[in-house]
Amino acid sequence: MIYSNEKQCNRHIRAFKRLCIEEKKFLDNLSLKTTACEIGISTGHLSRIINTEINISFSDYINVLRVEEAKTYLINPKFSKYTIAAIGLEAGFNSKSTFNDSFKKIAGCTPSEFKKGHLN
């Protein structure tokens, strides 16, 4: 898809990434609708530019960020007393099963296996 205003598209992607990465909004109960409202564009437009520019769906992108965050928690001694489920919740997932399923899909192993593989 070709955008009539590439600068505007780039600005929207930058705003989306800023919200997700710099402000870590993915840790909250983030939705396409709330994100689009915060950026000031429609949900359809945000979905299209994410799919086109990042080549991934909104929910998959958010789950990738959450899994990467969870990985840092799993190997951080500060979180050593947290259960796997608690780490998933801290990383923004709504349930243990969603966390485990997403983690395995993205990382190729379960959170427990990842943690075990990174113990000293």
Rounded to the nearest 10 degrees, the angle between the axes of helix 96-107 and helix 58-75 is 90
Tell me which of 84 and 3 has the higher pLDDT. 84
What pLDDT does 4 receive? 56
What pLDDT does 55 receive? 94
Q: What is the mean pLDDT of residues 77-104?
A: 96
CA distance 38 to 33: 9
Whether 96 has a pLDDT exceeding 80, the answer reads yes
Confidence of residue 120 (pLDDT cuts 50, 70, 90): low
- Average pLDDT along the chain: 91
CA distance 70 to 88: 6
What pLDDT does 67 receive? 98
What 3-state DSSP class applies to 111?
Answer: helix
- pLDDT tens by residue, 19-77: 888 889 888 888 999 999 999 999 999 999 999 888 999 999 999 999 999 999 999 99
Confidence of residue 6 (pLDDT cuts 50, 70, 90): confident
What pLDDT does 1 receive? 47
Q: Are the CB atoms for 12 and 35 separated by under 8 Å?
A: no
